[in-house]
Structure 1
Amino acid sequence: MIETLISIVFCLSSALTVLILLLPSQYQPAQAGSPSRPHAAKRHKTCVQILVLGDIGRSPRMQYHALSIAKHGGEVVIIGYNESDPHPDIISHPSISIVPLRSHPALLQTSNKLLFTIYGPLKVLFQIVCLWKCLAYTTKPSRWLLVQNPPSIPTLAIASLVCFLRQTRLIIDWHNFGYSILALKLGQTHPLVKMSMWYEKVFCKSASAHFCVTNAMASVLKKDFNLPVPVLPLHDRPASHFNPILDPNARTDFLTTLPETKEFHSALKAGSLRVLVSSTSWTADEDFSVLIDALLRYSELATTVQPHLPEVLAIITGKGPQKEMYLGQIAALEKASKLQKVTIRTAWLSVPEYARLLASASLGVSLHTSSSGVDLPMKVVDMFGAGLPVVGWDRFEAWPELVTEGVNGLGFGSSKELAGHLVELFGKSDKLESLRLGAQKESSRRWDDEWNPIAGSLIGLT
């Protein structure tokens, strides 16, 4: 019965999709910057649309693309969900505009695996309608369309068709693989995961070029996806607002201004408190229980075996579906007095405040486990930009492309290992300071240095 219902939903979805895609569109093909129209290139700025099927404010890499394009004289239209504040420079820049997408109805969001197979296609249908209306009607033609992937469904199909009709050049910016993320929810052998993999491999071939976040991902795209066009590794680098704060007193002074640290002012001034920062999406590919278990171990050791260990304040930033579940677990542990030398607080900060928090903290933690094994967490790049040493989950192939073990960070593969690193680093300030120096050195590698010769050159702006 369930399989029949799913089949009916898919058939209806396919039929409606075909009807939508056959609708006429009201535009003229893109001309700005076209090689066949050399005079048009002089009269118009190079226009680039950036498509994010997600929250623009929580998509730093795509915002950095927009700022770099505008900085070099291009005109940018960012299309995506406008749920949180973008970077201030995005809002104020005269050459950057935002076209918000309509969010899907809340009732189509579920963590139940069975309901997901029913609601998923309906959610995709809603997104198809919104994307088609925006790309084919609301926005003017552009020379380039830069698409964030994942999510790939339905983004790649709609983008491919619109680019074909509008004579727009499509660039896919690979942050990960859509099918590998879907597998976290449904399992590797699920039919929808296999269909997603096929879909991604088929529609990505319509792109004129590809960016990706690691060399390892570029290798997979070239070998397994058999792409006939350039695949260019474009490593994440921190933007200009992430900078180290070299003066320890200045770091302490900033921390005392945060509401989350109000009750710890005296400990901060005395130097008896270590501030740990982790930014998480509260999703399945970032198992927050690993950090909770590690902090439990640390608290137990600090209250019994090694009382010289300092107190720890863990400030967790980010939004996501599993946040409330974990906050309930933390509250229960606090009530049971199992976190005697550890305090966990959550925060949602502005971009400048978040940058200064990273620069002022003692240690950063990354829980990103990588569904594909070849992507990297942007949060670690930001931490290095702020000169903050990092401990992170390292059981995936691309990790060494980002972190140099023992120089600017340390890797772990279990909560026990993470707890061991916390004890070592917070118990020996010289080791932690050595890693901070390594992170500060890494901070000199900036986004513009990476973007200009790769993306800027491809688009024709540098």
Structure 2
Amino acid sequence: MAASCVAVLVMAASLLLLLLVLWKRWRRGRADWHVIIVVLGDVGRSPRMQYHALSFVKSGFSVTLMGFCNSRPYDELLQNNRIQIVSLTELPKLAVGPHIFQYGVKVVFQSVYLLWKLMCREPAAYIFLQVNVKPPGLPAIAVCWLVGCLCASKLVIDWHNYGYSIMGLVHGSSHPLVLLAKWYEKLCGRLSHLNLCVTNSMREDLAQNWGIKAVTVYDKPASFFKETPLGLQHRLFMKLSCTYSAFKACSEPLDPDTERSAFTERDPQSGVVTHLRERPALLVSSTSWTEDEDFSILLAALEKFEQLILDGESLPSLVCVITGKGPLKEYYRGLIGQKHFQHIQVCTPWLEAEDYPLLLGSADLGVCLHKSSSGLDLPMKVVDMFGCCLPVCAVNFQCLHELVKHDENGLVFEGPEELAAQLQMLFSAFPDPTGKLSQFRQNLRESEQLRWDESWKQTVLPLVMDT
């Protein structure tokens, strides 16, 4: 009896799927200018895929953007009536059974769930998939390929990183699950109609070791990443000073009508904003607070910088703002609290989306701790910093040279001692307009970087239309 019920359910499900496929084929005419973008991760923390969505819309497409909605996406996406955001739910693991069983059940259910969500959408000419997340994101390649076959959609994979390499950070590179994930990615990655990737190093690796031909599409800053005018800097600092003490003025102005932050003040009569003469230097680091971004490097460098000041070196005090959220944030906040810095203030806010580019455009120096699990992807946060003409000190890894040019637009370091020495050198005569920091900023201004929209039209759009 039970077997008969199961057989009936399987037949009913198969018939329903067949009818859904036929219905979508019948509606195929509406699909030519529709794209489904799949992010098996947090949409709000996937700027590249948000940029893809906006670029498709500007080129005449309608877009369905599917992913986890844990963080707020850009307002431009939310306000565009040609972009539909479909929230996905990450299914929890079972609380019983061996770990491998829990993991397997979650992957199966996540795959079926994604299949159902995709089949219920409007038919699309292209399914655009981000690949850089650990399972349950990995099964998305096979699921998207299957839906593409059923609905005559072309699969485009944008390789940000390898999912198996991220798994390897937790389980080790020789773990059976990691090896299985690597085999799966290599096999299913060849099923796509078009492959994009973020670096030339990844393109070469995909070709040599995976048999996949990809096109490099470098991350580029969006147009809203730019230097922040002094008046907007002051408004941002005053806004942040209401919540974070690091932005509050150290002393009250003589005129009670004068607005003063830790960095700027506004004259009540003329409305003119100026930098304070003895202002601290503003250092910004954006991090995901994960194992592949070792925050202890920055913390150790700040300790050495503090000691230099205590030893009498002519250096400014620092306000170090570390943005982002992630699993290790509270752990490191506890370590920061134990340091009792006298000349350094560390602030760890979660900024509103519109305030983040303003902060980067107001800062004096950026620090990047991104190392990459595969060594083949580049940090988007540095791209954003460069868009704001913000020089960067970045920890070195395999392909960083494709973005950061040492001693030209920033500096590359190996550990806390080297980073501390770089901070000492860059801030030794702060805010000297002829110093190394100003030279790096001027180099960035003169580089006339291509913005995302222009780059996308030149590279991605022709590839998609020819696929």
TM-score, scaled to structure 1: 0.85
1:132 partnered with 2:115: yes
Q: Report what 2:263 is aligned to.
A: 268
- By how many angstroms is 1:45 displaced? 5.3
Secondary structure in 2 matching 1:27: helix
Q: Is the 8 A contact 2:32 2:124 kept in 1?
A: no
Secondary structure in 1 matching 2:427: helix
One-letter code of the match for 1:385? G
- Distance of aligned partners of 1:324 and 1:46 in 2 relative to their CA distance in 1, 3 Å threshold: same
* In structure 1, distance between residues paired with 2:51 and 2:189: 23
Query: Please, which of 156, 175, 191 is the counterpart of residue 171 of structure 1?
Result: 156
* In structure 1, distance between residues paired with 2:230 and 2:393: 21
Secondary structure in 1 matching 2:168: helix
Q: Is the 8 A contact 1:364 1:383 kept in 2?
A: yes
Q: Is the 8 A contact 1:32 1:142 kept in 2?
A: no
Q: Larger deviation: 420-429 or 249-258?
A: 249-258
Query: Which aligned pairs between 1:145-164 and structure 2 lie closer than 5 A?
Result: 145-151=127-133, 152-164=137-149
1:331 partnered with 2:332: no
One-letter code of the match for 2:305? Y
Secondary structure in 2 matching 1:427: coil
Q: Report what 1:47 is aligned to.
A: 34
Show structure 2 runs of 5+ residues with no match. 1-9, 250-259, 265-275
- Distance of aligned partners of 1:415 and 1:456 in 2 relative to their CA distance in 1, 3 Å threshold: same
Query: Please, which of 428, 433, 437 is the counterpart of residue 438 of structure 2?
Result: 433
Q: Report what 1:278 is aligned to.
A: 285
* In structure 2, distance between residues paired with 1:125 and 1:326: 35
Query: Please, which of 308, 314, 320 is the counterpart of residue 326 of structure 2?
Result: 320
1:448 partnered with 2:453: yes
Q: Is the 8 A contact 1:387 1:443 kept in 2?
A: no
- By how many angstroms is 1:19 displaced? 11
Q: Which has the larger radius of gyration?
A: 2
Q: 1:160-199, CA deviations, whole angstroms, 9 ceiling, x for partnerless residues? A: 2111221110000000111111111111111111111101
* In structure 1, distance between residues paired with 2:293 and 2:361: 23
Secondary structure in 1 matching 2:128: strand
* In structure 2, distance between residues paired with 1:106 and 1:175: 26
Q: Is the 8 A contact 1:275 1:362 kept in 2?
A: yes
Q: Is the 8 A contact 2:234 2:261 kept in 1?
A: no
1:123 partnered with 2:114: no
- By how many angstroms is 1:266 displaced? 5.4
Structure showing the higher helix proportion among its residues: 1
- Distance of aligned partners of 1:22 and 1:296 in 2 relative to their CA distance in 1, 3 Å threshold: farther
Query: Which aligned pairs between 1:31-110 and structure 2 lie closer than 5 A?
Result: 40=29, 46-105=33-92
- Distance of aligned partners of 1:21 and 1:275 in 2 relative to their CA distance in 1, 3 Å threshold: farther
* In structure 2, distance between residues paired with 1:178 and 1:67: 25
One-letter code of the match for 2:21? Y
One-letter code of the match for 1:220? D
Q: Larger deviation: 434-443 or 292-301?
A: 434-443
* In structure 2, distance between residues paired with 1:300 and 1:192: 46
Query: Which aligned pairs between 1:409-420 and structure 2 lie closer than 5 A?
Result: 409-420=410-421
* In structure 2, distance between residues paired with 1:45 and 1:208: 16
Q: Report what 2:409 is aligned to.
A: 408
Show structure 1 runs of 5+ residues with no match. 1-17, 35-39, 109-113
Query: Please, which of 202, 210, 221 is the counterpart of residue 238 of structure 1?
Result: 221
Query: Which aligned pairs between 1:364-379 and structure 2 lie closer than 5 A?
Result: 364-379=366-381
* In structure 1, distance between residues paired with 2:423 and 2:63: 43
- Distance of aligned partners of 1:284 and 1:381 in 2 relative to their CA distance in 1, 3 Å threshold: same
Q: 1:4-58, CA deviations, whole angstroms, 9 ceiling, x for partnerless residues? A: xxxxxxxxxxxxxx99997852134766998xxxxx4xx7651110000011111
* In structure 2, distance between residues paired with 1:439 and 1:346: 27
* In structure 2, distance between residues paired with 1:443 and 1:122: 50
* In structure 2, distance between residues paired with 1:126 and 1:340: 52
* In structure 2, distance between residues paired with 1:437 and 1:210: 36
The number of residue pairs the alignment matches comes to 423
Q: Is the 8 A contact 2:321 2:346 kept in 1?
A: yes
* In structure 1, distance between residues paired with 2:139 and 2:149: 16
* In structure 2, distance between residues paired with 1:434 and 1:249: 23
* In structure 2, distance between residues paired with 1:393 and 1:20: 56
